[in-house]
Amino acid sequence: MQRHHRLFSAMRLRGLIRKESLQIIRDPSSIGIAFFLPVLLLLIFGYGVSLDARDIAIALVVDSPDPLTTSLVSGFQRSEYFAPVSIPSIQEAEEAMMRRRVDAIVWLREGFSRDLLARGGAPVGVIVNGVDANKARLIEGYIGGVWQQWLARISDARGLDLQVPVRVKYRIWFNPAVRSRDYLVPGLIAVIMTLIGAMLTSMVVAREWERGTMEALMVTPVSIYEILLGKIIPYFILGMGGMALSVSMAIFLFAVPLQGSLTALFAASALFMLTTIAMGLFISTVADSQFVAGQMAIVVTFLPAFILSGFIFDIGSMPALIQGVTRIVPATYFVAILQSIFLAGDIWSIFFVNCAWLAVMCAVLLVIIRKKSHKRLR
Amino acid sequence: MAATGVTDTVLRLADVSKSFRVGNRTVKALDRVSLRVRPGMVTGLIGPDGAGKTTLMRLLAGLLHPDSGRVEVLGLDAGREHLAVQAILGYMPQRFGLYEELSVQENLDLYADLQGVPAAARPARYSELMQMTGLAPFTGRLAGRLSGGMKQKLGLACTLIKPPRLLVLDEPTVGVDPVSRRELWQIVYGQVESEGMSVLLSTAYLDEAERCQEVVLMHEGVLLGQDRPQRFSDRLAGHCFLVHGERENRRRLQERLSRSRGVIDAIIVGDRVRLVTEEAMDEAAVQERFGAAGSPLSATRVAPRFEDTFIYLLRQRLRQSGRDSAARIIRPARVSSAGGEEVIVVRDLERRFGTFRAVKNLSFTVRRGEIFGLLGANGAGKSTTFRMLCGLLPASGGTLRVAGRDLHTARSRARARIGYMAQKFSLYGGMTVLQNLRFFGSAYSLTGRRRKERIRWVLESFELEPLRNVVSETLPLGFKQRLALAAALMHEPEILFLDEPTSGVDPLARREFWRHINALAEAGVTVLVTTHFMEEAEYCDRLVIMAQGEVLASGEPEQLKRDAAGRGLAEPTMEDAFIALISSHEQREAA
């Protein structure tokens, strides 16, 4: 009577994978999460969100115009950071600041040229709108930059010995164009993949519980390994498709340079994809409705990936406790890998250390899932 | 292993118990159940919701572990050797998991893969199953686009893809139209005859018990008995009569008989009352004993039905546990005296969802004080019609008037004249009985002393007083439904809408519910009710039978039965009428 029962059969696994693929193809929401959402997020972040300040509206107030002040004004006009407007009096300029028409005022007072030439230095009045502290600091720096360049040029041209505070020569490594997009977009790819892997996987498992299909599956000779693999394989392929799309958009649409190799990128992505799918399956062992699964996926995986992975906010400047928390967010490791591969190249020390962490997390999750999954009803 | 032990038993439960925790309460789903199922026949597992049928089936499919006792399927321990059991068992859960995005063929392929059916054997098996279920023309259709009956047949085909030795079906006929129901039974019997398959099938429809070769009766996790259905029925031979009141209408007669001593059951069947007495007696004795002064009655002895014995056993069990309170019936205040006036008027009503016409050319009128029924299977358009009448959904075409207005555009004062009881328990599960009643009283703008009075009235009439501080979601189903009715009656509506009010409750609770409804109708309340229970149609004064959004017939129950199925049948049932209507409708469609 007792029959030998195999835990693995290629026919059963093939059947499950084919079923899952047909569901993916026919259900617009899976395709939406895997392809539409990445495109949408990348477009929003690629075009909409920028941490750079450009074309800042500033008011230039010159109490007594002369050739010297005109050359400083044209220095501001030539800068790509500023869109200056000349305003005759400081009162009007302050008024414009109050109405948020300008973010800063540069005020050259009566006697500016005379003092500069006679005493070798003259004060410049700078007022910056400090509501957005980050932007204010950028504006302050940019104004200082224009001022210094102008001073240096004037002193060289006229052979004067002007007080140029310090002569600084900048070289920016790894992101020479200093475009925030170049590091935001790779980080975003990690966030998108978290969403595809965790949310999609946990929701499709919950859907099987909701619709009663899981109960029908459970009473067939299918083994729990086949059920799990039947979910992992199709969503891995789908997720890697979403990944490929995101990388292509990053390179071809947003012109983010890819310094490292595609092989390294692929290897790290595959490992991370598997980890996020494992997170999704883990959520689905607890959540039995699509609603709960979706909410949990957002709170437990998406938001941490967004906030704590170092994708936007620098981990080094977080409090120690929060820094500890970032260590258990898989996206943290993947963001580090992605940013190094895109901006610096294949840095193997970074690559292997972070991949090792990902592999450990993935393995732990898979073991827990195996322990918690039974062919039993809850 | 002894050779004899295997051949005469396909399934054995020995002293099996299983409990679940619901909130902070423990519910005994199965209480020391022992039974044996014999091979090569159809065994019915009969009982209302909450009897423990699904738990029992999940135990033997190895999906649950018993707390104590032993479950043996074909000689295997279902708990320890569940993979081996699952390889030889065919189990169709209540909501069979069809993948709706997959076509009929793709669903079959999936289950053939999972059951390990070799590719060479598939074409023959597929065509056999498709022919048997009548699904052959629809193999390319997505499962989600099939009708309820077709889905159920596809589910059965998937379960049968590799002929199992034991087929376990959990309520396969629930909500399915009578024609598909009949077909499902034919398929099941076909398997028993051709493959020698053993079948365990659960159902809450008592009339289906008579189609089983052996019946296991369950109630609240306890086994009430196991026998051939005929033997169950025979116990009450000589106890059953059809009674006609000479001067009493059927509702008053039923109410009087229900309260009489020595009566097990009294239900309305057409224009007569079906009476089951405690003692066997002859017709003259019935007429003498139950005919009241001034209202004589005529009685005809009829054959007992399975349901009679079930009611008898349930009453006995309740009496033993001291719960047989001959339920008090509400005494509603009279809402109107003048009868005959048309309260609900529906003309050429239509509702479209995209290109799909859920309701088409629907016309009927309901007079004051009538009980009017909409009868049909799931998906016939009953609930859509209902939502339009209640003003929850705008109509796409036609006119409808409830108490002279279209409730969709009428102001709340017009709505205050109707009471509505939704299909699903729609009270606040987290609040107590009293809190729910207070809330619904306020929602219907009852305040102060008036609200207090009404709450006192419903608590007393529905015997909810002892339960006033119980959290609603922990109430048993029958009480929930009583509470829902109570809430709908708080503001003394003139018109009452009931959407599938008794689905899932046990037959005793259903009887009690209908006695309340009868009392309301006697007091002049107009009642509109939807149901897919054929026997409930008997309680209606008039009804329409619906299928696919259309009215197939309308009229009084007696007349419908006679018109549709009269020829050849001595005592046609509502189901016979329904099937005759559906098939003549299909013939017309085909022509």
**B281: three-class secondary structure by DSSP:** coil
Chain A CB contacts of B79 under 8 Å are none
Give the closest of A5, A217, A376 to B97, CB-based.
A217
Residue A160 pLDDT exceeds 70: no
Give the closest of A3, A12, A213 to B99, CB-based.
A213
Predicted pLDDT of residue B327: 61
Predicted pLDDT of residue A227: 92
Question: Distance between CA atoms of A304 and A272, rounded to whole angstroms?
Answer: 15
Q: Where in chain B is the domain with CATH 3.40.50.300?
A: 3-232, 340-417+509-591
Chain A CB contacts of B89 under 8 Å are 219
Residue of A nearest to B101 (CA): A23
Predicted pLDDT of residue B49: 77
Residues above pLDDT 70, as percent of chain A: 92
Average pLDDT over residues A159-172: 59
Binding-site residues on chain B for chain A (CB distance < 8 A): 1, 6, 58, 61-65, 74-76, 81-84, 86-89, 91-102, 106, 109-116, 142, 155, 158
Chain A CB contacts of B94 under 8 Å are 212
Average pLDDT over residues B406-424: 78
Question: Distance between CA atoms of B564 and A187, rounded to whole angstroms?
Answer: 71
A132 in Cβ contact with A142 (< 8 Å): no
* B474-to-B27, B327, B429, B478 alpha-carbon distances in Å: 10, 21, 8, 11
The CATH architecture annotation of domain B235-320 reads 2-Layer Sandwich (3.30)
User: Given an 8 Å threshold on Cβ–Cβ distance, is B63 in contact with A215?
Assistant: yes
Kindly indicate the confidence band of residue B444, based on its pLDDT and cuts at 50, 70 and 90.
confident
- All structural domains of chain A, each given as residue ranges with its CATH number in brackets, are 10-49+179-372 (no CATH), 56-158 (3.40.1710.10)
A19-23, A173-177, B387-391, B507-511: which range is least confident on average? A173-177
Smallest CA–CA separation between A213 and chain B, in Å?
A: 3
Residue B111 pLDDT exceeds 80: yes
pLDDT tens by residue, B339-351: 678 889 999 999 9
Residue A95 pLDDT exceeds 70: yes
Chain A CB contacts of B55 under 8 Å are none
Question: Distance between CA atoms of B9 and B534, rounded to whole angstroms?
Answer: 35
Chain A CB contacts of B116 under 8 Å are 9, 11-12, 221
Predicted pLDDT of residue B372: 94
pTM for the model stands at 0.78
**Cβ neighbours of residue A336 closer than 8 Å, sequence gap 6 or more:** A310, A350, A354
The CATH architecture annotation of domain B340-417+509-591 reads 3-Layer(aba) Sandwich (3.40)
Q: Alpha-carbon dihedral of residues B470, B476, B481, B487, nearest 10 degrees?
A: 0
Fold of B3-232: Rossmann fold (3.40.50)
List beta partners, residue B198: B166
pLDDT tens by residue, A10-51: 899 999 999 999 999 988 888 888 888 889 988 887 777 666
* B450-to-B190, B364, B432, B492 alpha-carbon distances in Å: 62, 36, 20, 12
B463 in Cβ contact with B328 (< 8 Å): yes
User: Given an 8 Å threshold on Cβ–Cβ distance, is B114 in contact with A221?
Assistant: yes
Q: Where in chain B is the domain with CATH 3.30.70.100?
A: 235-320
Q: Strand B342-353 vs strand B297-301: parallel, antiparallel, or unpaired?
A: unpaired
Closest alpha carbon to A205 in A362, A378, A12: A378
| ipTM of this complex | 0.76
Between B37 and B584, residue with greater pLDDT: B37
Residue B581 pLDDT exceeds 70: yes
Chain B CB contacts of A216 under 8 Å are 91-93, 96-98, 155, 158
pLDDT tens by residue, B548-579: 888 988 999 888 888 876 666 667 788 888 88
